Amino acid sequence: DPNSPKYDHSITEALWIYQGLDVPNIPLLKKVLNAEDYHARAAGGRVLRYWITMGYVDEPIPMLKELVTDPAIRVRLEGILACGFVPSSTAAGVALMAADYELDEWMEHVLKDTLEALKPYGKPKSEAGRAALARAMTDQELLAESLDPYIAAEIVDRLTIAEEKREEALAYYAKENGMTPPRAILDLLHQADVAGREAPYLERRLLDLDTAALFAEFSTLTNLIEVANTGALRQTATAAALKGGGRRGIPDVTKLASTKDLLSAITLLDPDEPMLKNLNEMVLSELPEVHEGEDESELSLHKLAMKAAVHLPGIREKSFTRLSEIAETAPSEKYRQAAMVAMNSLPYAEWPKGFDQYAVAAKIDPQKLAFGKEVYFKEQLCATCHQPNGMGMNPAYPPLSESPWVNGDPERFIRIALNGLQGGVRVNGKDYNSAMAPLGALLTDEEAAAVLTYVRTSFGNLSTEIDKELVAKVRNETKDRKKLWTAKELLGDQPTEEEMETMLPDSSGAADSQRQFVKMWTLQDFDGNLGGGSPARGKEIFVTAGCVDCHAFRGEG
C-alpha cells in the first residue's frame, strides 16, 4: 500500500528478497531509489552496486547521478562507492559530482578510493570533476602531476606543500589564465570562498602585495567585502582595500564593511601603515567604557576594539590607560580578562611606560613563543585536532581557548601533553570524548615548555609561562606511567564543586574507566603469529577505540 507509513520499508525488504535470490528487478530498484525515506534510498544504492558487479544493470549512470547528488549524505556515500564498479571515466566524473556537496572524512576516503579504482579508465572531463580530482590527491600525487590550472590551484591551497612550490603554481596559474598575479590571487580566493574553504596562505599573499597593486584591484576588493561568505576573507579584503585605497578609500571601505570586519582588518595590517592613523578616533570610540560589562552581549565586538586599539601606535597610550582601568574596575570578570589579553597581545618592547604591572605574556621571550607556535603547527601535533585558531573541532576535540585544563594547574597541563588523555572532558560547558594521544615521546622538554606556554598565552588565554625544568620534573614523576590519564584522575580525590561542574563530563563515571578492549601492549606480545584475529572486529576497534583520531581512516596518519 503506497499510503502505508511502512511502504518504503516494505519495498526495501522486497528488494532484498530479489537480491538474496539473485534475481534482478530493476523497476523495483528504481522505485526504492526514489523512496521518501533516505534509509531506503541508501539501501537501494547498495543493491545497485551489487547488481552492477553482476552485470545486471545496463544503464547505471543515470541512477548513479541521482545517488551522488541526493540530499542525504548517507545516500551520496553509497553512490560514490557504486561508481567505482563502473569501468569508465564517465563514472569518475559522476562520483566527483558529490564534491559539490558536503564531504565528511568517510566520504573523502571513499571518493579517493573510487577515483583510484577508476584511474585506468581516464580522467573526468568536466571542470568540476577535474578540480575535485585534484582535491582528492595527496601532496605527493599533486607534485608528481604535470601542472594544469586545476592542479596548480590545489597546490596553492595546500599549506603542507613547500612555499616555493606554491609560488611556482601561483605563477603558472596566473600565466595560464592571462591574469596578473594579484588578480590570480583574488580569483583563487573567490574559488575557495565559494567552496566554503579558508585560504590563509592566499590571504597573506594578498596583504603582502604593495599599495599600487592593491589600488589597481580596489573595486574587486570592495566587491569581495560585500559578497564573501567567510569572515576571514571579508576581513582580509577589508584590510587590503584599506591599504590599497589609502586615506581616500576609507569612506568607501567603512561604508561597506561591518564594524567587526573593520576592527579585525586593522589588526591584519602593519601598524605603521600610514593610512591607519585616519582610523584612530573611530577605534577609540568603539572601546567599552570602564563601567561597562554587566551586559556581556557586546563582549566579542569590544574584544576586537581592544585589540585594534593597542595595535595602533597613535592611540596606544590612551588605549592602555582605558584598558588598565577596565582590567582593574570593570564589573565583569570577562571584560577584565579581555582587557588584559588585549594589552598582552602587544610585544612588551612596544608598551607605553607605566603599565608594567599588567604585563604577563608580553614579558615572555618572543623567541620562545615563536618556537612554541612552530611546534604547535607541526604536522600531526596540536593544530591537527585543536585547529590553527585553537577552537577545536566540535564534538571531537575541545577548544584550547579559555579552557580550565589549559589555564589551570600547569603540572596538570604538562601531564596531559606528555601522557595523553582519554574518557572525556568538559570545556566551556560542552563535553568532548575523543582521546588525546601522548606526546611525551615526540617532544623534548624545551619543545613541550615552548608549545604549552604558547597555548597558555594564545587564543584568548593569559596564563603563566611553563619552563623546561618543570616539564622535566613532571616527566620524571610520570616516567613509569603506561596509561592515558582520565579527567577524574587529573582532578584528584577531592575536586572542588566548580571543577566537577566545569571540567568533568556528564558521563564522569566513564571518565576513569579504560575501554574494555584496550590493553597496554609490550614487544613480547608480538612474538610469533598472533592468529585468530577478526579483520571486521579489528576495523570496529580501530574506529571506536580512537586509533582513527590520529592514524586516519586508511592508517596513513
202: helix, strand or coil: helix
Alpha helices in 345-397 (DSSP H): 366-376, 382-386
pLDDT for residue 511: 38
Task: Give me the CATH code for the 7-127 domain, please.
Answer: 1.25.10.10
554: which 3 cell numbers?
586508511
Rounded CA gap, 416 and 406, in Å?
10
Which segments of the chain belong to CATH 1.10.760.10?
364-514
Pairing of strands 421-422, 485-486: parallel
pLDDT for residue 517: 45
Whether residue 288 is preceded by a cis peptide bond, meaning omega within 30 degrees of 0, is no
Dihedral sign for Cα atoms in the order 77, 83, 89, 90: negative
pLDDT for residue 387: 86
Rounded CA gap, 339 and 210, in Å?
33
Rounded CA gap, 107 and 83, in Å?
13
SS (H, E, C) 309-350: HHHCHHHHHHHHHHHHHHHHHCCCHHHHHHHHHHHHCCCHHH
Q: By the 8 A CB rule, do 286 and 312 touch? A: no
pLDDT for residue 435: 85
Rounded CA gap, 427 and 220, in Å?
41
Residue with cell 603506561: 482
Q: Which amino acid is at 364?
A: I
486: helix, strand or coil: strand
- Supply the Cα-derived Rg of the chain in whole angstroms: 28
Rounded CA gap, 243 and 265, in Å?
10
Please, which residues bridge with residue 432 across strands? Answer: 425
* φ and ψ at residue 6, rounded to 5 degrees: -100, 15
CA distances from 547 to 198, 378, 518 (A): 28, 20, 11
Residues 6+ apart with CB under 8 A from 141: none
- Quote the distance between the C-alpha of residue 178 and its chain's center: 33
Rounded CA gap, 127 and 52, in Å?
27
Residues 6+ apart with CB under 8 A from 464: 360, 410, 456
Eight-class DSSP state of 230 = S
Which segments of the chain belong to CATH 1.25.10.10?
7-127
Task: Give me the CATH code for the 364-514 domain, please.
Answer: 1.10.760.10
pLDDT for residue 121: 84
Residues 6+ apart with CB under 8 A from 238: 225, 253, 257, 261, 262, 264, 265
pLDDT for residue 196: 77
Rounded CA gap, 495 and 40, in Å?
49
492: which 3 cell numbers?
584528584
Q: pLDDT in tens for each of the 557 residues of the chain?
A: 888 999 999 999 999 999 999 999 999 999 999 999 999 999 999 999 999 999 999 999 999 999 999 999 999 999 999 999 999 888 988 898 887 777 777 787 888 889 888 888 887 766 766 777 787 788 898 999 999 999 999 999 887 888 999 999 999 999 999 999 999 999 999 988 887 777 888 999 999 999 999 999 999 999 999 999 989 999 999 999 999 999 899 999 999 999 999 999 999 999 999 999 999 999 999 998 876 555 667 888 999 999 999 999 999 999 999 999 999 998 888 898 899 999 998 988 899 999 999 998 888 998 999 999 999 988 668 988 888 888 888 778 899 988 999 988 999 999 999 999 988 889 988 888 888 889 998 899 999 999 999 999 988 888 889 999 999 999 999 999 988 999 999 998 888 888 888 888 875 444 344 444 455 555 555 555 555 566 656 665 665 455 655 565 445 55
Dihedral sign for Cα atoms in the order 147, 151, 156, 160: negative
Residue 369: closest CA among 265, 455, 246: 455
Rounded CA gap, 456 and 324, in Å?
21
Q: Does domain 149-361 have CATH number 1.25.10?
A: yes
pLDDT for residue 516: 44
Q: By the 8 A CB rule, do 532 and 526 touch? A: no
Whether residue 352 is preceded by a cis peptide bond, meaning omega within 30 degrees of 0, is no
* φ and ψ at residue 87, rounded to 5 degrees: -75, 80
Residue 392: closest CA among 480, 302, 455: 455
Residue 195: closest CA among 225, 230, 165: 230
513: helix, strand or coil: coil
Residue 106: closest CA among 483, 501, 547, 548: 548
Does this model's pTM top 0.75? My answer is no
